[in-house]
Structure 1
Amino acid sequence: MCAPLVMEQVARSLSRRAFLGAGLGLLAGQALAQAPVPGKAFRQAADLTHELSPEIPLFPGAEPMRITTLVTVRKDGYYGNRLDLWEHSGTHMDAPAHFVEGGLTAEKLPLGSLIAPLAVVDIREKAARNPDAQVTVDDLLAYERRHGRLPRGAFVAMHSGWEARWRDPKAFLNQDAGGTLHFPGFSPEAAEFLVREREIVGVGVDTLSLDFGPSKDFKAHLVFLGAGKYGLENLAGLAQVPPSGALLFVGAPKHRGASGGPVRAVAVW
């Protein structure tokens, strides 16, 4: 979520074979141990990230990103752009500091929290009936009856089907005549349940905000971020991922003092 209106060396590439052969390493060990199929070689992957561009939907008040080409291969012998963008653009992270004075900024989040068992809670049916649908405690308990208790260190993603509107910013924001936004999110009660009754590292949504569109107090944000959890907003591709059994990798922002920033989120299973 979140715009000013609301609150003012290239890594060496590893082949898939080499990656699987090497394993996840110590940081991923805990997350892998919590996955339903420990040690199983990954056969599928899904990119949960939208492409960034000046045309993407943004929370009201945020300026569109600008991409300025500075040099080209034809003219300068190499190609490069300058990017100007609001931290909370596209598929992005909300770090605790985004809503909590003195909270962790994105670059200081524990590295192990960026690798997590992924639980995808599907609320598409009720979101199709009501754009203001919220993930409730009942939804979470129904998920657990079907797929087992949320594992320790889990990342919980809401799948509302809202991604289908991504290429139409007006439909994605879904503002009414009075300017109120309408889209799904987590209820404050579900947020409290997840931080008090379950051991999660973070949550994500396929909409603009962890809170549903009409929220004025952003209680779900305050609960999650206040508990030191992070949020991912504008996730993509959740329909490709199984409800349980996948592992999430978050390429988190690492600039100084980051309230958040664009991420590359990938699920494997």
Structure 2
Amino acid sequence: MCDACLIENIKSSMLSRRALFTGAAATTAAVVASGLTTATPALAQAAGRVVDLTHAYDGSFPTFDGNPGILYEPAVTFEGNGYQLWKLTIYEHTGTHIDAPLHFTEDGTSVADLAPERLVCPLCVIDLTAKAAEDANAMVEPADIEAWVSANGDIPAGACVAMNSGWAAKVATPEFRNTPDGSFAFPGFSKAATDMLAGLDVACIGVDTLSLDPGNSADFAVHFSWLPGGRFGIENMANLDQVPAKGATVFIGAPKHKTGTGGPARVMAVL
């Protein structure tokens, strides 16, 4: 083939590709304009900053029952093998983790069956630090939600509403879990607040403490009402003080083991 012919062939190929891409872009624009896309309109317009909302953890990380939540056992050592790996024994509700509906229902949705579109959602952060400084068992109440809405606008359907109580800073101390006399003490949500959020079609709630309910709860009212409704929670979140009250999108890396009642998760916010 002559050089001139080769050049003409390349030109024709480039023009064909350009037409193809132009057509694809036009089709995409039409789909978006017609509302046929599944993207959540309320997702934040990311500027490239990512905040990790997940604690790194090992067997010393605080747990509700006080027992190690993860155990390591060498399965293969580097010496003599050239690679290494651990055998892990992990309890589902440890570290930064998800409470799936199945956690507090006999036949609810497992962590493996959570709808993917509920795992990427707008993040709304309620600042409870002042109340928590006065009361270790402070709760997010309807008034706190109303104050957030007054300052920031409506809570989007499908959102993750997280409580920043400042408790994450205590994670390496006994005060993260209990008072000196051994009584559970940490902030959480009130049932009245989560009932309000359920009415707004909020996908999940999150806390920077050991439990969705406050430490002094005697009946786990939030667990028993929020989870059976098909919603989920995230416990032991980190770095909520590094994200704004609104405008971030949270990506919830839920585990996907069948019949799971929850499990450790990698949770990240994109700003």
Q: TM-score, normalised by structure 1?
A: 0.84
CA distance in 2, matches of 1:203, 1:79: 37
Whether 1:235 and 2:237 are equivalent positions in the alignment is yes
| Distance across 1 between alignment mates of 2:117 and 2:54 | 20
2:197 alignment partner, SS class: helix
Is contact 1:121–1:156 with CA below 8 Å preserved after alignment? Answer: yes
Structure 2 residue 175 is matched with structure 1 residue 174: no
Question: How far apart are the structure 2 equivalents of 1:42 and 1:224?
Answer: 33
> Quick one: percent identity of the two aligned structures?
41
Match of 1:111 among 116, 129, 140: 116
Q: Which runs of 5+ in 2 are unaligned?
A: 1-36
Partner residue of 2:140 out of 127, 135, 138 = 135
Provide the alpha-carbon RMSD of the alignment. 1.8
Matched residue type, 1:186: F
Partner in structure 1 of residue 39 of structure 2: 30
Match of 2:102 among 83, 88, 97: 97
CA contact (8 A) 2:253 2:267 kept: yes
Q: Aligned-pair distance for 1:42?
A: 2.7
| CA gap 1:253/1:157 in 2 versus in 1, 3 angstroms | same
Q: Which amino acid aligns with 1:30?
A: A
**CA separation in 1, counterparts of 2:108 and 2:211?**
19
Structure 1 gap ranges (5+): 1-27
Distance 1:266 1:123 in 2: 21
SS across alignment from 2:176 = helix
Partner of 1:195: 198
Paired residue secondary structure (1:254):
coil
2:183 counterpart letter in structure 1:
T
Counterpart of 2:263 in structure 1 is 261
> Which structure 1 residue ranges, 4+ long, deviate > 3 Å from structure 2?
61-64
Aligned to 1:16: none
Deviation string 1:126-177 (CA, Å, 9 cap, x unpaired) is: 1011101000000000000001010111100000000011012x21111453
Cα drift, residue 222 of structure 1:
1.4
Aligned ranges 1:1-269 → 2 under 5 Å: 29-31=38-40, 33-35=41-43, 40-60=45-65, 62-168=67-173, 170-175=174-179, 177=181, 179-196=182-199, 198-269=200-271
Separation of aligned partners in 2, 1:162 and 1:218? 19
Query: TM-score normalized by structure 2?
Result: 0.84
The amino acid that maps onto 1:147 is N
